[in-house]
Structure 1
C-alpha cells in the first residue's frame, strides 16, 4: 500500500510530498522492516504520478518480492532548477542551467536529522544503518552516492543509477578520499549503454566518460573496503523504463 504525506522541508522553508510504500500486511502484523529512501519519489510507483509518464514500477515489484521493506520516496522540487540545487552536494556552473547554488548537503542533513527520525517513530522500521538504504537516479544517483560516502554512519546500501557524476566528479572523489567506509557498505552503480554513448557513438561503451567515471568511483570505493556492483545496461537509456528494469538486480545485490 502507498501512503502519501506532506512533510516540512526545512532547507527550502517549504514541504515535500512523501510517497511511502508499506507491505500489504503492515497493519495486520507487528513485524519491523528495513527501510530504503529514494529521491524523486513521484516516479517510483505509478505511471500517472511520474514526471514523464513512466514509473519505476516499484510497488508492483515489491508486492511480490520475498523481502519485505518500507520505502520512503521523497518528491523533488518542481520549480525551475531547484531540483539541481536540492540534489547536488556541490555548487557548479553548467550550460544551459547557469550557476547552481547547491544545498544537497543540507538536504541530506534534513533527511537524517528530521525525516528519518520521524519515519522511525511513525512506522515500524529497523532504524539501524545495517537496515537502511538510499537510492536514486541521475541527480538522485549522485545524492545516493554522496550519502553513502559522507553519511555512511546512517546508510549501508546505496543504489546509484545513471548518476549525474559529470557536474562535480572531482569534488566527490576528493570527499571519498577523506572518508572511512564501513566494510559492509554496498554500492550499486549503473549506466545505460545508449545514454553512455549519446553524442559519442565513435567510442566503445567502456571508453565513454560516463562509464569511466563510474569505474573510477567503483575502484575508489573498493579501495575503501566497500562492496560494489557495476552494471552497464545493454540498450539502457536515461529514463525510468530503463531504471525499472534494474529493480531486481540492484535490490538483490544490496539486500542478499
Structure 2
C-alpha cells in the first residue's frame, strides 16, 4: 500500500510539474494592430500531438478585470499575415480593438490553437459522426479505401476536445484573468474548424456558451455525390444538439472556391436548429454572396459573429 501511495504521489508530482512548465512567451516581433501576442511552442498534451498555442491580450489588459475567452482553431492564421503561408490573416486583433473601443462587445482575449497540416482533418473531424452515426458497412468501406492510399483515418476529434477542455482551458484560466464560466467562453473556426467549433459546443454545452462557424465544411471530406459524411454529421446534430436557451450558434457561407459547395446545406442546417427551438436571438446562418474560402473573406465579416456572441 505504501509503495502504491509513493508511486501515485510521484505521478501526481510529474503531472503538476508538466503543467507548471507551460510558459507563454511574448512574440516580440509579432506584427499586430495592438495588444500582445504570447506563445507556447509545444503545448504539452496527453491527448493530441503537442503544437503551438497563442494567446492575444488587448492593449490595456489588466489583472483587475475579467475577460471573455474566445478559443479559435488554426491559430497560426489569426493575427500576423507576414507569417502565414498565403500572407492572409483573420485580423482578429484589428476587429477586437475597434469593436471594444466602440463599446459594441465585451473585453476578451483570444486563444489560438495551431493546426498541424498533416493531421488537421483527423483533429478537426466531429468524430462521433463517423463512429456512431455512419452505417458500419459504409464506415468500413471508407476506412478500407483510405488504407489503400495510405491515408490516416485515425480520428482525434474527441481527444482534441479533451485537450481543449481538460488541459488547455485550466491553464488559460489559471495564468490569465478570465471569466471562466460558460457564459464567457466561446469557440470559433472555419471550414473543418467550423465543424469542430459546432462539435465542441454540442459535446461540451456546460463549457462553451456559443460557437462561430465560418464556411463550415458540411461535406466532412472531399465534396462528392451521395456523401456519407454529411448525412452522418446531420444525424449527429439532430440527436445531440440541446434545445435553445443556453447557447448561441453562428454559421455563414459564401459561394466561391470551396464555399461553392455550401449553399445547398443552408436549409438543412436551419431545419436542425428550428426543430430545437432556435430563433434569430440565438442562431444565425448567413450567406455572403461572392465570398470565397479564405482568411481574407472571413475577416471581412468577423465583426458580425463577434457582436452576436460577445455583444454588450
Q: TM-score, normalising length from structure 2?
A: 0.72
1:166 pairs with 219, 226, 229, which one?
Answer: 219
**Structure 1 residue 9 displacement after superposition:** 3.2
Q: Which deviates the most, 38-47 or 180-189?
A: 180-189
Q: Which runs of 4+ in 1 moved over 3 A?
A: 91-99, 195-198
Structure 1 match to 2:45 = 9
Q: Which deviates the most, 89-98 or 46-55?
A: 89-98
2:113 pairs with 66, 71, 74, which one?
Answer: 74
The alignment's C-alpha RMSD in Å is 2.1
Structure 2 match to 1:236 = 291
Structure 1 match to 2:154 = 101
Structure 1 match to 2:57 = 22
Question: 1:232/1:196 Cα in 2 relative to 1: closer, same or farther (>3 Å)?
Answer: farther
Tell me, yes or no, if structure 1 residue 43 matches structure 2 residue 104. Answer: no
Number of residue-to-residue matches in the alignment? 242
**Distance in 1 between the 2:259 and 2:173 partners?**
42
* CA contact 2:215–2:259 (8 Å) conserved in 1: no
Q: TM-score, normalising length from structure 1?
A: 0.87
* CA contact 1:33–1:125 (8 Å) conserved in 2: yes
More strand by share: 1
SS at match of 1:176: helix
Per-residue CA deviation, residues 6-46 of structure 1 (Å, 9 max, x unaligned), is 3113323x32211111111114x510011010000000001
**Distance in 2 between the 1:176 and 1:62 partners?**
30
Per-residue CA deviation, residues 57-91 of structure 1 (Å, 9 max, x unaligned), is 1112212222310110000113x2x1111111235
**Distance in 2 between the 1:127 and 1:197 partners?**
34
Structure 1 match to 2:167 = 114
**Distance in 2 between the 1:86 and 1:3 partners?**
23
* CA contact 1:141–1:161 (8 Å) conserved in 2: yes
**Structure 1 residue 193 displacement after superposition:** 2.0
1:89 pairs with 98, 123, 126, which one?
Answer: 126
Tell me, yes or no, if structure 1 residue 187 matches structure 2 residue 249. Answer: yes
Larger radius of gyration: 2
Structure 2 match to 1:155 = 208
* CA contact 1:222–1:228 (8 Å) conserved in 2: no
**Structure 1 residue 222 displacement after superposition:** 3.0
* CA contact 1:189–1:214 (8 Å) conserved in 2: no
More helix by share: 2
Tell me, yes or no, if structure 1 residue 222 matches structure 2 residue 274. Answer: yes
**Structure 1 residue 215 displacement after superposition:** 3.0
**Structure 1 residue 50 displacement after superposition:** 2.1
**Distance in 1 between the 2:123 and 2:113 partners?**
12
Q: Which ranges of structure 2 fall in alignment gaps of 5 or more residues? A: 1-35, 101-105, 131-138, 221-228
Structure 1 match to 2:68 = 34
* CA contact 2:71–2:111 (8 Å) conserved in 1: yes
Question: 1:129/1:77 Cα in 2 relative to 1: closer, same or farther (>3 Å)?
Answer: same
